[in-house]
Structure 1
Amino acid sequence: MKIAVMGAGAVGSYYGAMLARAGHAVTLIGRPALVQAVRADGLLLESAHFTGRVMLEADSRPEAVAGAGLVLVCVKSGDTATAAAQIAAHVDPAAVVLSLQNGVDNADTLGQVLGRPVVPAVVYVATDVPTPGHVRHHGRGELVIGPSESSERIAALLREAAIPTTVSAQVRDALWAKLVINCVYNALSAISQLPYGELVRGQGVLAVMRDVYGECIAVARADGVQLPGDLWSEVMAIAEHMAGQRSSTAQDLRRGKPSEIDYLNGTIVRLGRQAGIATPVNHTLLTLVRLLETSAR
């Protein structure tokens, strides 16, 4: 299949490389530095199971989605509407569009701009990009995607590319569970610039994480979301299974780039305000990360 990855950062580059290794014709759409590196030497994928260069196409133009049967949208949440507008005239009418993004509303935003259904996906992967054209995989990699006429077919394609994929009608609840985990870790990792394994050992950190978690659970319940009862265990498991990973927010701050904090802790603050639920710890973390973004710029 011809596959386009719109917004090929760490997540998009990883999944694009996996699909290219499985024999699909993949085009990464990203920044000029990525395009130059990939066109010159391919994409360097570094993981526990494979390290080597993967040959695929790269382009900086949104119209490079033309002709793709599957479009993976991996842009930052703040760029969702803009990216959708850029590709709207070029996406094949029969293409499946899959949102591989943080946050809970991106598939809806994409669908509104594109004027077509977009399949939401929950992404569980730890990756980073040390240099353009080089993606490191630190762990996991599974996807949970929403139901559609094409979801089972796309899930089979992804599984054949060694990407564990499940189709679930409860994808919204799963997106919320991922949001809670991100809210607990991302800002604290960004502020400290520590990986998860070190972060949780900091004095007083677990108590703050618990406070963030409690606010998120209260807001989720008010929004009608059904979260698993053992979600806190999943939160703590992250520090063990992804001990060396720094959050995407931490990586953004280190590079002086805008983060997705408004779509993580900021979502909890916004929805909490609407529901009359106090979220002081999430609000504090949101404010601190925004200040650090300003300082980095």
Structure 2
Amino acid sequence: MQVAVMGAGAVGCYFGGLLALAGHDVTLIGRPNHVAAIEANGLRLETKTGTQMIPLKAASDPSAITPPDLVLFCVKSADTEAAGRALQPRLKPDSVILSLQNGVDNASRLQAAIGHPVIASVVYVGTEMAGPGHVRHHGRGELLIGASAQSDVIAATLTSAKIPTTVAPDIDQALWSKLILNCAYNALSAVADLPYGALLAIDGTEQVVRNVIEECIAVARACGVSIPDDVLTKTLALPGAMPSQKSSTAQDLARGKPSEIDFLNGTVARLGAAHGVPAPTNLALTVMVKLVESRRGSGAS
């Protein structure tokens, strides 16, 4: 397959690298410094079992790519519409687009912007960019994707490339469950600049996490989304499963980049206000991240 990865950050590089190893023709579309490193040496993929260099294509402008069979759309939420419009001229009528983004509304926003079907997806992977053209994998690596006419074939293709992929019968529930996970830890990890494993060791942190989860569940239900009964237990188990992982928000702040906080805790606070459901903890965490952004000069998102 011709595969384009739009937004070749940590998630896009990891999955793009695995697809290239499986024999697919992959082009990573990313920032010039990453593109230069990948063109010179290939993508450096570092996992717990070792490091390998993966030869693949890279570009900083989607106008240069071959029309793709599959697009992994991985840009930050604030860039969804602009990146979609830049990619649109290279799409084929039957190009399949997977939105591998945080938040609950990126797929619908992208679809509205480009007039092309988009399949919502939920990503469960711990990765970080360790340098130009260098992605480091910390754990997990599976996907849930929404149902469509192409979803079963795409899921089989991804799974054969060592990306375990399941078609979710209720993708909205899955998106909200992932949002709750992100809301619980992303801001705290960012403000403290700590990995997940160290957070709950601080007195009071677990209660804050529980407050966030309870608010998220109440807002989701007000929006008509069913939330699984075990979401609290699963969310509290994350630090034990990925103790060394810092959140994507923490990684953004460390690099001086705008965060996605408006599309995480900010979404819960905004939707809560719209539905008359209080979400003060989510609002407080949103403001805390924006204060850190302001102090570091990364610009509020």
CA distance in 1, matches of 2:158, 2:237: 25
Q: Which residue of 1 aligns with 2:202?
A: 202
* Shift of residue 64, structure 1, vs aligned partner: 3.6
CA distance in 2, matches of 1:268, 1:69: 34
CA distance in 2, matches of 1:175, 1:201: 28
1:219 paired with 2:219, answer: yes
What letter corresponds to residue 152 of structure 1 in structure 2? D
Report 1:120-131 matches (<5 A). 120-131=120-131
* Shift of residue 199, structure 1, vs aligned partner: 0.7
| Secondary structure class of the residue paired with 2:174 | helix
What letter corresponds to residue 72 of structure 2 in structure 1? L
CA distance in 2, matches of 1:64, 1:290: 36
CA distance in 2, matches of 1:32, 1:55: 17
* Shift of residue 169, structure 1, vs aligned partner: 2.2
CA distance in 2, matches of 1:75, 1:295: 25
How many residues are matched? 297
Q: Which residue of 2 aligns with 1:292?
A: 292
CA distance in 2, matches of 1:172, 1:65: 31
1:241 paired with 2:241, answer: yes
Is contact 1:4-1:64 (8 Å) kept? no
1:72 paired with 2:72, answer: yes
1:253 paired with 2:288, answer: no
Is contact 1:65-1:87 (8 Å) kept? no
Give the 3 Å change call, closer, same or farther, for CA 199–224 of structure 1 in structure 2.
same
What letter corresponds to residue 11 of structure 1 in structure 2? V
CA distance in 2, matches of 1:148, 1:278: 35
CA distance in 1, matches of 2:256, 2:148: 38
The CA RMSD measured in Å over matched residues stands at 0.9
* Shift of residue 65, structure 1, vs aligned partner: 4.3
| Secondary structure class of the residue paired with 2:127 | strand
* Shift of residue 50, structure 1, vs aligned partner: 4.5
CA distance in 1, matches of 2:49, 2:85: 37
CA distance in 2, matches of 1:19, 1:204: 42
CA distance in 1, matches of 2:204, 2:189: 14
Q: Which runs of 4+ in 1 moved over 2 A?
A: none
| Secondary structure class of the residue paired with 1:102 | coil
Cα shift readout 1:182-202 (whole Å, capped 9, x = no counterpart): 000000000000000001111
CA distance in 1, matches of 2:195, 2:64: 35
Cα shift readout 1:157-214 (whole Å, capped 9, x = no counterpart): 0001000000112111000000001000000000000000001111110011111111
Is contact 1:6-1:65 (8 Å) kept? no
CA distance in 2, matches of 1:48, 1:289: 31
Report 1:260-275 matches (<5 A). 260-275=260-275
Q: Which residue of 2 aligns with 1:137?
A: 137
The more displaced of 120-129 and 48-57 is 48-57
TM-score, L = length of structure 2: 0.97
Which ranges in structure 1 are unaligned for 5 or more consecutive residues?
none
Report 1:1-297 matches (<5 A). 1-297=1-297
| Secondary structure class of the residue paired with 2:251 | helix
CA distance in 2, matches of 1:49, 1:146: 31
Is contact 2:3-2:24 (8 Å) kept? yes
What letter corresponds to residue 254 of structure 1 in structure 2? A
| Secondary structure class of the residue paired with 1:141 | strand
Identical positions, percent? 54
TM-score, L = length of structure 1: 0.98
Is contact 2:268-2:279 (8 Å) kept? yes
CA distance in 1, matches of 2:84, 2:61: 13
| Secondary structure class of the residue paired with 1:89 | helix
* Shift of residue 87, structure 1, vs aligned partner: 1.0
| Secondary structure class of the residue paired with 2:63 | helix
* Shift of residue 236, structure 1, vs aligned partner: 1.6
